[in-house]
Amino acid sequence: MPALEIRLHGRGGQGGVTCAKIIAAVYAELGKSVQTFGDYSGERSGAPVRAYTRVSDDPISNRNKVYDPDHLLVLDPTLLSDEVVQGLQPGGTLLLATSAPMESFVGRFEAFRLALIDATAIARRHKIGTRSVIIVNTTVAGAFVKALGLPLSALEHAYQHLGLLSNFAAAREAYEGVQVREPIGLEQRVAVPAAAVPAARPDVLPLTEHRDGPQPPLKTGNWRTQTPKYSSYLAPCSAWCPAGNDVIGFVQALAQKDEKAAAAILANTTPLAGVCGRVCPAPCMEGCNRREYDGAVNIRGLERWIADHGEVVLPVVTKHATPRRFAILGGGPAGLAAAQTLARAGHDATIFDGEAALGGVLRTGIPTYRLPREVLDREVGAVLALGVKTALGAFLDREQLASLPGEFDAVILATGLQKLRGLDGPGADLAGVQQGIRFLHHINLDGAARIGGHVVVLGGGNTAMDCARSALRAGAERVTVAYRRGADEMPAIAEEVEEARHEGVAFVFLRAPLGFVGEGGRVRGVELAEVELGEADDSGRRRPVVTDKRSVLECDAVLLALGQSAELSLLPAGWELREGRVHQGGVPLAVFAAGDVSTGDGTVTHAIGDGKRAAGRAMAALGLDVTPFARPDRAIAVPATDIRFDHFATSAAVRESLETPAARVRTFDEVSHGLADGLEAHRCFSCGECTKCDTCLVFCPEGIIRRKDAAYEVDYSYCKGCGICVKECPRKGMEMTAV
């Protein structure tokens, strides 16, 4: 029997020679004589290579390369050419590793049995090779065995002998997935002739002469199996910002000393940069990849710095051709964000609010030592400057509310969390026990609330901290915060807790309030039960388990900060809030909920994001051509593992300077003086955004990356796809992609 001859075409690094060896090993398992060898050249990884396998019943003495193969394997579709199929016998199998579907080969290679396998995808799934070079050989062998009708068990035995069993699962997947098209019209076909032995060869320049003119280029670009590409990837700070701020955008603008651009970027997405720069819990900093290195960039501080120092140029609003009329209920952050969004789109927006001034909880709840009112007024004023109208000083009743959809094209319901959680235990009606929110409202609006003695604050959120610290400023001798979980579980902003501690606020943890004890109708103590932490609940925090151990914490006043929720009972009869929209009798009304009333997230930044989203949904519902704001997907943000920390010198985050506890604790003046400058922006890794740092250019071993205009240009005719530029990029400004 003449020897069965198999030729394989691949690229250096794909494992083609080993693939030919695997095929030989399979035939050896079947008792055949085999011979297999590679065709080596001076070129390196990625260069086209050939490998050969002969199979026979008799000993094989032919040592030549294979010119007229019975079967042909091509490991890389970019190699496919007439030269590659030269000599292949009609009816022979042409196995091609490609992601292209069989339909794309109509009219091509019809003389052969065409077998296709997406080996790269399979090998990548099985993590065979590296990120830049996927090794497909062991996978392709599985497809070959199936295409040739050889037993899979022989392949498994071969892998066992070759120490490749870890790759067998990929081979099995290829075995099961290979697509085969039988030859078409075989009888009319003749073999593709093998390349003839050349009669005359080109002259070779003597070594005693120099070649003048350009050297014949060795365009190594055809060695490439993957291609480096510059791109932008979502930075985690931006992905984590509920308000949808282009966080990396304004921080990088600041890093480039373009304060004006930074302010414009911020103003584009939020009406409340100065507010958020003070009171935001800063999810961006939680997501910041620098946290994994030497501490998150102080993004909140930078936002405040821009708002306080940047010159905001208000956008010129063009009135919509047919402006729609929107009523916005509630002038808190969600309402303001909705108003800004609608006004910028050229529509009429009117904010209704029961208070005398806009701001909602920012004005009624947050103390001035955290948020000076001139900052709030400035930002509210900027929203009003867009032409937003107001109707203040009177809460709408159900009837008035019910009539709004008839008077306006759409209504945005942004009423926040009006329902305050109380404590149903004994003594709740004792004098001296009051809702913290009410206490803050008095202080903030009336400016005159006084409180004395030992004040106990129940709760662990930001309202609790505001109550505790405001109580100190309003005359309390001492303040104790009692929280039912541990210190680590407190939802309050960590800096707030720390500042409260420095001001002398005491904390007792793992204590749940049961009721109050009084004397003469006035509260004299809180009865607390000791709590143990159990399993984690849905929020990831350990669930408090109340025990029998009780004690009384003596006090003179109690502020409740146990949580708030939406007050939906004030809605007109029949109104039903479902997925952020009001329905009546199953029919959706043009009434959209925004902010806490809808989501209950409880932060300014969430409210801004949801206000924008609700405004967008309302406009879209009216048939306007808008894409409602959607929060970016955190899951696709650049992870810290994609940042090359080695490229960055360590530096501690710059913190805001604070008034000393002794000086600040008796006044309502702002505690934080903010950052002195915007230099903290230089700590930004710029995750996923090229900063033109030249690292790719410097590390490219071929020297074929060049600056062009404001970007880089890779000379792909020489790029071997080594991946070093991508590997060295400090910030994931590029990645390897398929050729």
Partner 1 sequence: MTQELISANHAAALAATLAARANRTGRGFGSGVYPITPQTECIELLCNQEIEKGHVVRVESEHSAMAVCMGFSVGGARSFTASSSNGLAFMAENVFAAAFYRLPIVMMAVNRTLGPPWNIWVDHGDTLMLRDSGWIQLYCENNQEVADTTLAAFRLAEDRRVLLPIMVCQDAFILSHTMVLTEMPAQALVDEFLPPLDLPHRLADRPRVIGGLDLPHETEMHRLQAIGAMNNVFEVYREVQASFLQIFGRALPDPIVPYRMDDADVVLVSMGTTASTVRAAVDEARARGVRAGGLRVNMFRPFPEDLLRAALAGKKKVGVIDRDLCPGLGGILWAEVRGVTEPGALVQGYIAGIGGGDVRPAHVTRILNELVALERADKPRIVEVG
Residues that bind partner 1 (CB under 8 A): 42, 201, 203-204, 206-210, 215
Q: How far is the CB of 64 from partner 1 (least distance, A)?
A: 14
User: d(Cα 311, Cα 262) in Å, to the nearest integer?
Assistant: 10
Task: Please report where in the chains the tokens 């190594």 appear, as a residue.
Answer: 220
Q: Are strands 389-392 and 348-353 parallel, antiparallel or unpaired?
A: parallel
Pick the closer one to partner 1 by CB: 207 or 448.
207
477 near 453, Cβ under 8 Å? yes
Nearer CB in complex with partner 1: 106/204 = 204
CB of 45 to partner 1, least distance (A): 16
- Going by C-alpha positions, the residue among 301, 298, 277 that lies closest to residue 362 is 277
Nearer to partner 1, 215 or 627 (CB): 215
Closest approach of partner 1 to the CB of residue 232, in Å: 39
Report strand pairing: 478-483 vs 410-413.
unpaired
Structure-token match 């819990």, residue found: 281
Among all chains, which residue has been given the structure tokens 């039903």?
Answer: 576
- In angstroms, give the least distance from the CB of 206 to partner 1: 5
The span from the CA of 586 to the CA of 19, in Å, is: 64
Tell me how far apart the alpha carbons of residues 36 and 162 are, in angstroms, rounded to a whole number: 14
CB of 79 to partner 1, least distance (A): 19
Please give the Cα distance from 378 to 364 (Å, whole number).
16
- The pair of structure tokens assigned to 213 is 């003119």
Nearer to partner 1, 163 or 217 (CB): 217
Distance of closest approach, residue 66 Cβ to partner 1, in angstroms: 18
- Of 311, 401, 294, 278, nearest in space to 656 by CA: 278
Judged by CB, which is closer to partner 1: 211, or 708?
211
Whether the CB-CB separation of 433 and 427 falls below 8 Å is answered with yes
Distance CA 203, CA 320 (A): 75
Pick the closer one to partner 1 by CB: 199 or 635. Answer: 199
In the bound state with partner 1, the residue whose beta carbon lies nearer, of 64 and 215, is: 215
Element (H, E) at 356: none
User: Rounded to the nearest whole angstrom, what is the least distance from the CB of residue 50 to partner 1 in the complex?
Assistant: 15
Query: Among residues 146, 122, 210, 154, which one has the least CA distance to residue 25?
Result: 154
Residue with tokens 């294979």: 66
Q: Dump the DSSP string for 14-56.
A: S-HHHHHHHHHHHHHHTT-EEEEEEE--S--TTSEEEEEEEEE
Structure tokens at 717: 């005719």
Given the complex with partner 1, which of 103 and 203 has the nearer CB atom? Answer: 203
The secondary structure element, H or E, covering residue 735 is strand 734-738
DSSP three-state, residue 437: helix
Instruction: Please state the closest distance from residue 47 (CB atom) to partner 1, in A.
Output: 12
Report in angstroms how near the CB of residue 686 gets to partner 1 at its nearest. 38
Between CA 728 and CA 734, with CA 131 as vertex, the angle to 5 degrees is 45
| Amino acid, single-letter form, for residue 375 | V
Report, in Å, the least distance between residue 212 CB and partner 1: 9
Q: How far is the CB of 201 from partner 1 (least distance, A)?
A: 5
**CB-based contacts of 164: which residues, under 8 Å, 6+ apart?**
22, 138, 158
Of 208 and 627, CB closest to partner 1: 208
Give the pair of three-digit tokens for residue 88: 């292949």
Cβ nearer to partner 1, comparing 204 with 635? 204
For residue 44, the minimal CB distance to partner 1 (Å) is 12
Q: How far apart are CA 728 and CA 502, in angstroms?
A: 44
Task: Give 49 or 615: the residue with its C-beta nearer to partner 1.
Answer: 49
| Min CB(63)–partner 1 separation in Å | 15
User: Which residue, 64 or 208, is less far from partner 1 as judged by CB?
Assistant: 208
Nearer to partner 1, 205 or 635 (CB): 205
Look-up of token digits 């230089």: 682
711-714 and 705-708 beta bridge pairing:
antiparallel
CB of 647 to partner 1, least distance (A): 32
d(CA 594, CA 615): 8
Cβ distance to partner 1 smaller for residue 201 or 708: 201
Q: How far apart are CA 569 and CA 397, in angstroms?
A: 11
